[in-house]
């Protein structure tokens, strides 16, 4: 089978057995050069319209990664193959990239990636900038141009200047000087500035509320009343009469103090409840500890089934490991040609390896010429005497040459095979001529090597 081009880059693809002793140099080197061109080479285009060349195996225009366009601009036709191009339009007009379907138009002065899916061409561009900032945008002059922050700030400043000079003056609104942070309000007849919040002086821990006419600061006591909270909600926390008792208040009978208290006896509760009691408990605790350095009792961990093993003395204080032993499936170790595998991936049965043909040939007896087959070459030493060479060599000398001698009605004797090595053997063919057995060149010798 001859070599063939790859479908996308037209690089030579080696067929099995093709170009013996020449695939590396020059064939492989040529293929590597083509791949280099597909990644880093440049095609210059200056006349239009133009169809890029795409010749197999050799350098061509369509395979190169980059297209640099000059001149007046126009249409560039590329092959209908999936490929990425980097197009730099240095011409004075637009450059249109087409493969027969949708075309991609690259504006003059732009350098962009163009993707072809085999039919349609598109410019690779972003529509979602994911909160990134576009920098160094020039001032636009065309109605369709983008604008930058400098232009927007100038528009906002002009709008504010117009409002100050026109709107406030013509409507007799109060002046803006000294009213930073205030809002404009009216009582129905007069327009004035008002503070967003009342004064902050002496309002620590106060809450901003409304009295129906405006915002005011309310004290904690006022807020309790506004929220209709009664009883203990209106009392301060303390240790004296008329206050809400705190956790360390002696008025709570049997309460543990912040220091000097000792618990004795068994205490039980949910996991984590004893963390704050560390150092002040004596006796046993029933429950789960929030932390521990080791298990109370070490355990042996065992595995059974298709694999067995034991990890002894595990107490959680350190990493532990153990050996794993796979159970035997009953299949004798050896080399097999057929295997039975169960759902767990184990080999449960096997069949012995069978012989296979390694080489074949058809040889002309009178000359030793090989007219068909592969892996065998022949030299005729003398009448009926031949040296057979195997390429590649056999892995060992335990192979079997199977020979058929063809010559009309001549009585045939089995050939003699001698000097068998991994790379070949000798062979002598005989006939019976009136009761005399002698060496003889048969018309055709057919041969197969079985290992």
In whole angstroms, give the CA distance from residue 356 to residue 359. Answer: 9
What tens digit of pLDDT does each residue of 118-149 get?
Answer: 999 999 886 666 566 777 778 877 776 778 88
Interval 60-77: pLDDT, tens: 999 999 999 999 999 999
Q: Which residues contact 340 (CB under 8 A, 6 or more apart)?
A: 347, 348, 349, 350
Backbone angles phi, psi at 153, to 5 degrees: -60, -40
Q: How many Å separate Cα 396 from the centre of its chain?
A: 45
Q: What is the pLDDT of residue 68?
A: 97
Q: List 45's β-bridge partners, or say none.
A: 69
More confident call, 114 vs 19:
114
Q: Are 100 and 80 in contact (CB under 8 A)?
A: yes
Q: C-alpha angle 20/23/24, rounded to 5°?
A: 125
For residue 284, report the phi and psi dihedrals to the nearest 5 degrees: -90, 150
Range of 149-158, 241-250, 260-269, 387-396 with top mean pLDDT: 387-396
* 103-114 pLDDT per residue, tens: 999 999 999 999
**Residue 220 and residue 205 in contact, taking contact as beta carbons nearer than 8 Å:** yes
Beta strand 82-89 pairing with 424-433: unpaired
Q: Are 158 and 151 in contact (CB under 8 A)?
A: no
Domains defined along the chain, listed by start: 4-123 (no CATH), 357-450 (2.60.40)
**pLDDT tens digits, one per residue of 298-347:** 898 888 888 898 998 888 888 888 888 888 877 778 666 567 878 777 87
Query: Which are the contacts of 396, defined by CB distance < 8 A and separation ≥ 6?
Result: 422
- Separation of alpha carbons 80 and 96, rounded Å: 15
What are the tokens at 76?
């560039």
């Amino acid at each position: 089978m001859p070599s063939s081009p790859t479908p996308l880059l037209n690089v030579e693809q080696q067929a099995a057995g093709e170009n013996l002793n020449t695939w590396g140099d020059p064939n492989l080197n040529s293929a590597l050069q083509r791949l280099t061109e597909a990644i880093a080479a440049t095609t210059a285009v200056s006349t239009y319209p133009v169809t890029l060349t795409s010749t197999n195996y050799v350098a061509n225009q369509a395979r190169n990664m980059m297209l640099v366009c000059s001149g007046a601009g126009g249409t560039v036709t590329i092959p209908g193959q999936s490929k990425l191009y980097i197009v730099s339009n240095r011409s004075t007009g637009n450059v249109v990239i087409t493969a027969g379907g949708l075309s991609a138009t690259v504006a003059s002065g732009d350098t962009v990636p163009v993707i072809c899916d085999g039919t349609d061409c598109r410019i690779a561009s972003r529509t979602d900038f994911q909160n990134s900032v576009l920098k160094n945008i020039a001032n636009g002059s065309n109605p369709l141009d983008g604008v930058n922050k400098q232009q927007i700030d100038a528009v906002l400043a002009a709008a504010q200047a117009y409002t100050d000079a026109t709107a406030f003056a013509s409507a007799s609104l109060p002046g803006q000087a000294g009213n930073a942070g205030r809002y404009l309000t009216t009582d129905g007849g007069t327009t004035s500035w008002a503070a967003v919040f009342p004064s902050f002086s002496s309002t620590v821990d106060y809450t901003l509320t409304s009295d129906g006419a405006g915002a005011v600061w309310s004290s904690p006591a006022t807020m309790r009343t506004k929220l209709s909270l009664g009883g203990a909600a209106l009392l301060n926390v303390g240790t004296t009469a008329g206050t809400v008792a705190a956790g360390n208040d002696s008025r709570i009978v049997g309460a543990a103090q912040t220091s000097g208290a000792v618990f004795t006896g068994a205490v039980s509760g949910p996991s984590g409840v004893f963390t704050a009691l560390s150092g002040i408990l004596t006796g046993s605790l029933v429950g789960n500890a929030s932390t521990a350095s080791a298990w109370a009792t070490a355990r042996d961990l065992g595995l059974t089934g298709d694999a067995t093993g034991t990890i002894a003395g595990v107490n959680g204080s350190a990493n532990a490991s153990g050996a794993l032993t796979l159970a035997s499936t009953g299949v004798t170790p050896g080399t097999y040609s057929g295997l039975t595998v169960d759902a767990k991936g184990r080999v449960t049965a096997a069949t012995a390896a069978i012989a296979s043909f390694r080489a074949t040939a058809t040889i002309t007896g009178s000359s030793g010429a090989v007219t068909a087959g592969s892996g065998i070459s022949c030299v005729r030493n003398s009448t009926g005497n031949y040296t057979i060479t195997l390429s590649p060599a056999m892995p060992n000398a335990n192979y079997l040459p199977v020979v058929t001698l063809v010559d009309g009605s001549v009585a045939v004797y089995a050939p003699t095979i001698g000097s068998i090595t991994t790379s070949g053997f000798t062979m002598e063919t005989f006939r019976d001529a009136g009761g005399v057995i002698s060496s003889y060149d048969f018309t055709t010798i057919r041969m197969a090597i079985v290992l």
